[in-house]
Structure 1
């Protein structure tokens, strides 16, 4: 029986999101420190919910590539927010499926829930937003070559 690799997502005290890929005894782990990225996005008038999704996808891609170098990463996740992503102050991300070159990952951990991404006025009315996102992120050949060399 083949063992599937595992992707573990965990939130540590609302300030760090951890991403860990594991296969047997090997693992790779990266963390997103929310305070620093949020401060940057706020200072540069960037939409935090949207930017977090981009960063989250990138960290998942990098983490898995360091464990299992791959050309294509298929991601499927559901995102819920209290407004459209450009204006959302709260988001919830629930990973549904992850495949690296047709190798499926078991997903462990709870959904990522972030609150207070933007300041809302007292008369703010939530405008529920939910979307299932499916995408394939390709690793450029030159980058894939580097990951393959790292894993020798």
Structure 2
């Protein structure tokens, strides 16, 4: 099959969907990020790291695995962890028996921080997204999100 010779312009329905996404995502994200900063003094990146580590066995994870899970570069994660270490909420540890491997671990202060922030964060997520949509809209949003994640994740692995 020969690819189209010119641009595949968006239909009206496709354009409506694209514009809705472009207008909706920053508004929802900004509202939740603003609440997170006001409620707990955390950035989105702080919360991403803390919430993953808070759910991990022993509140620890290999740094390389965390970077993959967050879809972050090792450099970005390293800079983020340095800022969080300076605040005493995470620490890096070498992996015993593996001179190349390192883990990031939540400190006691980190556990306290995510424990205090999580209820406020979930209320913000509810206020800006969950409670605004019907159950059918939430199911559709979840389905769309999974399709995009699977497709874009596969492309990222190939690319």
TM-score by length of structure 1 reads 0.24
Tell me the TM-score normalized by structure 2: 0.24
Higher normalized contact order (CA 8 Å, seq sep 6+, divided by chain length): 1
